[in-house]
Structure 1
Amino acid sequence: MDSQLFWKEETRRFPHGSGTAVVWVVRLAGAPPDATLVPLFRWSAGADVEAQSLRPPLGAMLRTVTRGKEELTKLADGAALWIEPLRTGGRIRGCLAVRFDADETWRDAIFLWSQDLAARLPVVLEQLRPLVPDGVAALTGQQTLFPLPEPAVGCDEPASLRGTIPLPRPATVPGIPGCIGISREMRELGERLPGIAVSGVNVLLQGESGTGKEIVAAALHHLSGRRRGPFVGQNCAALPESLFESELFGHRAGAFTGAAGEKKGLLSAAHGGTFFLDEIGDMPLPLQIKLLRVMQERRVRRIGDVQTRAVDIRFVAATHQDLRREIRHGRFRLDLFYRLKVVSVDIPPLRHRPEDVAHLLAWFLKHRGREYGEMRVGERALAALQAWRWPGNVRELEN
């Protein structure tokens, strides 16, 4: 197929009465989360030189091909970004992105053109070769996902700083104390969290390892009416099964061999506050039954004790596992799942919000004694960090 002729015919049909617009088409190579986006085409309408030099929004594109849903986003500069996944045979093969002015008069015509192109592209996607318009640098490999600041014209910087850029001052996500980021995903989570916090219901946090589930759990506590009470957390994967019951429920002196003194237990310690159970999917089945009883009756009995004690606790649990699959395999109780999952919160992985990488990097460096004015990073290094898939998420970046 003549790729040049194909794109020439398609762009000829673009509603040219409109203002500035930029079109990108990418093909998916591999399968998420290790997929790479291969830029096939970039074209701009209008005379805006700045728009013509825009980098492809690969972070948003990767999110679209991973989720398989189209999305329309209003950008901070007054533009709109519409991204449509391209499918054949039930599989996502790539996506089409169009950036245009949010108050564009020809908005509906641009949508119709884009939808018509998106319907025809999947069947020819594999036949098209990457096409680079005149005057545009070749897009080979996985490029930096977000524009990098340009060095000031005429500045006389030392040779050691050339090719580097200053890191931004870390921005806290509104609504999530202690969480760093500027991405749309985290802003949306921050908008949702305060309402969940004040509701007082149990919450199940779901997300990959290293995404910051404990920070979100702590934010739910500090934004709730229980903020003056204790926040007690326990990683279920870190406790051996033989110590689990003693740690959660406590014990009387002499209740078992080695129980020399009284032990209060974490559930009693969380009275009046929030109890956070990290990696709840690793809790042994016998303990799941006992925890369910505590949630139903709001009472705790220590090992070796006859009497029960009333407790007032809000439960927040977190997992990186698919609990529904664990239920099907008999490793997790369905009734406990529904007790915990009154509200479910999904925490996005770092590869879906690469615009947060620079802010997180600055935050970690600051906490290791670096001053904001001293923190710089090479352009190629930042591009590599933004393009990495981060299987270990924020914890991997920190380390």
Structure 2
Amino acid sequence: MNKRIIYLTAIILCTSSTAFSQGFLKKLKEKAANVGSDLIIKKSAEKAEKVVDGKGGDGKVKDTKTDNGEQIQSSSKGTKDDKIGITAYSKFDFVPGEKITYAENFEQDAIGEFPLKWFTTGSAEVVTVEGKAGRWLKLVGGRMLSPNMIFPANFNLEYDLLVNMPVDPKRNTISPFKPWSFQIFDGGNKTLKFSYGGHKINNSLIVNTDFQKDYADISLQSAEKALSKLSTGKSRFTGFGDYYNGGVIHVAISVQGERLRMWYDAQKVLDVPTGVAVNHNFNQFEFAASVREGMPAYYISNFKLTEGKADTRSKLMDEGRFVTTGIQFDSGSDQIKPVSFGVLKEIAAAIKDNSIKVKIIGHTDNDGNADSNLSLSKRRAEAVKNALVADFRIDASAIQTDGKGASQPIGDNKTSTGKAQNRRVEFVKL
């Protein structure tokens, strides 16, 4: 079905990210005005009736059925290796905050339905994908709004993006994705439901990604209220060739004061010193996809919004305890995900620099039975110890391990956010 939307966004002065070192957004208002930067009205009509979601690496489509009978096509080859070593992320310095304020993996939503409390102008539904854990929200054109939430002044936001690019049958070449847009904004005191007409969006951060076969170009657009408008030049994500055929990219965004940094897996794609309004009051985020007939859909999952940056050293030394949800594992497994590198690196430094001994305690949510969760929590604690010893050269005698399973929850296991809070690793100074 065609959907027409009037969408206000900032078109912004093109410059490199180093230009932001001159000061806050207001200081560049005059420069933006001089080059004719202005708001534009963007009209879009999305049509998503027949969508090819991907092809197998051997040229054959591999289908799996969801509960509602939809065909989801996923690749068995040409994807990013899920078992890549932790040390391959040695330049990945993202560290999530300690307090989870929002998490969503759509586990409470019915397959084939749109998730609760979200909004869309296009075609979107919760699905499962062959070879990928959990549930995913499939977006086929149009725009999608999150529920209303509170973004802390300093925050970290993570999510997984699954991409699956098909072969153009006419040219026998890889068809490029249409641009993918992700926006964080301040919509005021109410939850927006795409009723933008007459409603003022204050501050915003818009990340545009143009996917091609071997790379993706990422740029940032920032606006403080309706006054100052800026944009970065394009930053190239050179590793997209490893993902286009069904790989999952872990997207991480860190906002500390005016500074914004963004990673696609281990690669930092944005680092903007003064690109964020200090008093931003962000409260929603939005995805937008321009997908025409014969193009693939996008799949997103595993959202996590955390407050600030973990203060690993002082927590361990002064308080004697540090708890983190930043060490991530494959679902139901003790396999540590490489994106945990930044957290492990800081913990290793705190142990080394202060010559302390610690006990690592694993915790799980209440999915599954108690015995299985207890065993899993113990194995995960041992896996963290092994990573610290093997990859960061911590003395094994300085570390003890234990696991508590789901017996000591700190969040409500009836909600996605509460479960995410309970899946944690605890470090106790001995």
- Same fold flag (TM > 0.5): no
TM-score, reference length from structure 2: 0.23
Q: Which of the two has greater helix per residue? A: 1
Please say which structure displays the higher CA radius of gyration.
1
TM-score, reference length from structure 1: 0.24
Which of 1 and 2 has higher RCO (CA within 8 Å, sep 6+)?
A: 2
Q: Which of the two has greater strand per residue? A: 2
